[in-house]
Structure 1
Amino acid sequence: MRRRAAVLTAGALAGALALTGCSGSGTGSDKAELSVGSSYMPQPVSADMAAGFLTITNKGGAEDELTSVTSDVAGEVTMHSTVGGAMTEKSSFAIPAHGRLVFRSGGNHLMFEKLKRAPKQGQTVTVKLTFSESGPLTVEMPVTSATYNPSTGH
C-alpha cells in the first residue's frame, strides 16, 4: 500500500511540475530575449547614404518592438520595408515572441542618411538599436564589399 501511495504521489508531483513549466511564470520566458546576428553594411556607393542589414532573434515568450536605430556614422538612421517593389519608411518593427525580424536586401532594411564619414570595406560601424520593452543593444556592423551577398558569402 505504501508503494502504491508513493507512486501516486510521484505521479501527481510530476504532473504538477509539468503544468507549472507550461505556465511561463517565474521562468523568464514571459519577456523578450533579443540577440542580433548577420549584421553588415555594404560599402556605400553614395557619399551621403548607406544601407544596413541584420537579423534580430527573440528567444523569449513576449513580443518586442524595434523603435529606433542610431549610429555615430550617420546623422539619421531610418527603417524601411519593401513590399512588391515599394519602399515605405516605418517608425517601428514588431519582433514576435520566439521569432525573428530580418533586415535583408530587397526587404526590410536600414538607411544610414547624412553620412558623417564614408565607411570603407573592412571597417565596422557602431549601431544602437532601441526597443519598446527591452534595453538597447549596441552592434558592431562590419562594412563589406558593395556587392556582398550573404547567401554566397561574396
Structure 2
Amino acid sequence: MTRRTTLTALSTAVALAGAMALGGCSSADGPELDVAGAFMPQPVSDMAGGFLTVTNNGDAADKLTSVTSPLSDDVQIHETKDQKMRQVKSLDIPANGELKLERGGNHIMFMAIKNRPEQGEKVRIELHFEKSGPITVDLPVEAATHNPSKH
C-alpha cells in the first residue's frame, strides 16, 4: 500500500466513524418540548390555576412530573376525569403530541398562595419532566374569567 492509499483509507475510516457517532446523537432521539399559551387567571382566593400547552416534537414520550413556583410551596398537577378533579403524580406528553392544561381539564393548581398576583403581572414557574430538563415559564396573569378556548 502506498502512503497516499493509506492516508485515503485512514481519512475515510475517520469520516465514517464520525458520521456514525453523529448519527447516534441525533436530536430527534427523545422528547423535544416547547411550551405555549401559558396563563393564570387572576386569583380570587388563596388558590390559583395555571394553564398552558406542552408540545412534544420528539419521537419519544415524556411526563410532566412536578411544577415549582415562588408563588406557592404546594403546586400540584391535577387531572380532570368525569368532571372530577384529582391530584396526580404526573401527566403524559406523547411523542409527536401535546399535553393541554386548560380550564375544565387537566391543570396546574397553586395551593395556599403567598400573595394574589394582579392582572398584568407574571408568575414564574418551573416545569419538571421525567426525561427532559426543566423549563422555566412566566405565566401572564389574565382576568379571572379569561378562557382562550372560548375565543
Partner of 1:82: 80
Q: Which segments of 5 or more consecutive residues in structure 2 lack a partner in the other structure?
A: 1-22
Partner of 1:97: 95
Q: Which segments of 5 or more consecutive residues in structure 1 lack a partner in the other structure?
A: 1-23
The residue identity in structure 2 corresponding to 1:143 is V
The residue identity in structure 2 corresponding to 1:150 is P
**TM-score scaled to structure 1, two decimals?**
0.80
The residue identity in structure 2 corresponding to 1:98 is N
Partner of 1:21: none
1:53 paired to 2:43: no
The RMSD of aligned alpha carbons is 1.3
For 1:135 and 1:45, how far apart are their aligned partners in 2? 32
Q: 1:107 to 1:152 in 2, by over 3 A?
A: closer
Partner of 2:143: 145
The residue identity in structure 1 corresponding to 2:124 is T
1:107-146 alignment runs, 5 A limit: 107-146=105-144
Shift of 1:152: 4.4
The residue identity in structure 2 corresponding to 1:84 is D
| 1:5-61 deviation per Cα after TM superposition (whole angstroms, max 9, x unaligned) | xxxxxxxxxxxxxxxxxxx85432121000100000000111x10001000000001
For 1:82 and 1:151, how far apart are their aligned partners in 2? 17
SS at match of 1:40: strand
Please list every run of at least 4 consecutive aligned residues from structure 1 whose deviation after the TM superposition is greater than 4 angstroms. Answer: none
**TM-score scaled to structure 2, two decimals?**
0.82
For 2:149 and 2:59, how far apart are their aligned partners in 1? 29
Partner of 2:37: 38
Percent identity over the alignment? 50
